[in-house]
Structure formats: C-alpha cells, structure tokens
Amino acid sequence: MPPPGSVSDVATGGRTFDDITERLDEIVTAVRSKDTSLERSLDLFDEAIKLGSEAVDMVDRFELSPREADLLDASEREAAEGAASSRGPEAASEAGVGQPEAPASAPAPEPSGPDSPSDPQ
C-alpha cells in the first residue's frame, strides 16, 4: 500500500494518477493506429482532455511533506548547477555558479562609447 499523500493515494472519481496516465497512453496508441476512425479518434481526444484536466486537478491538490519538499528543492538545485556546468564556463558564469560575489562597495564601471559623457566630441 502506498504511503498516505502519495500520488497514487490521491484519487479522483475512483482513479489514481497512475490509472489516468495509463489510460492516456492507451489513447495515444489507439489514435496512432491506422485502424482507428476519425470519429473514434475525436472521441478519444475528448476523453484525453477530460483525463488531462483530472490529472492537473490531482497535481494541484497534492501536498508534499516538509521532508519531500526539502528533497525536491535540493534535487532541483543540483540539476540547475549541473545544467549550468555542462554548458561550459560561460553558462556557469551566467548562472553565478562557482563565481565569487562582488563586494557590495565596488564602483560601477564608467560607460564608454560615443554617447558617454566622458567622451569629448
């Protein structure tokens, strides 16, 4: 039996989230079949829309325990850091990964170019 609060424990209309995704997979297979008529495909499409809405409602009502929320946050941070480092040093720099923080009192660089006030014309 799944732990309380898990995705498969959150049911709507007697269906679990896993039941809905399984049925959506069946619908995709049926619609891709050359033997499925256009009318049947449209009926399946309508069913899929309803199932999708039901799944979204389930996700919206789902609550993580504080421990699960902390684990999810940590894995998201690791994924973001891994993605930044896999794109190279420029991406890691853009994400602020591995870069020291600038001192708060550091002066802003002076603008340069034809429109800057320090450029005589």
The pTM (predicted TM-score) of the whole model is 0.48
Asked if the structure places residue 95 within a domain, the reply is no
CB 85 within 8 Å of CB 97 = yes
Number of domains in the chain: 1
Asked if the structure places residue 96 within a domain, the reply is no
Q: What residue has token string 């209309």?
A: 13
Q: How far apart are CA 87 and CA 65, in angstroms?
A: 33
Single-letter amino acid, residue 7:
V
CB 81 within 8 Å of CB 91 = no
Six-digit token pair at 108? 């802003």
Cα three-residue angle 66-69-71, rounded to 5 degrees: 110
Single-letter amino acid, residue 86:
S
Domain ranges, residue 35: 7-89
Taking residues 17-21, what's their average pLDDT? 94
> Using one digit for the tens of pLDDT, what is the confidence trace for 85-97?
777 666 555 555 5
User: Residue 64: its pLDDT value, please?
Assistant: 82
> Using one digit for the tens of pLDDT, what is the confidence trace for 57-109?
998 888 888 998 899 899 999 999 888 877 766 655 555 555 555 555 555 55
Asked if the structure places residue 102 within a domain, the reply is no
Q: CB burial class (10 A; 0-12, 13-18, 19+) of residue 92?
A: middle
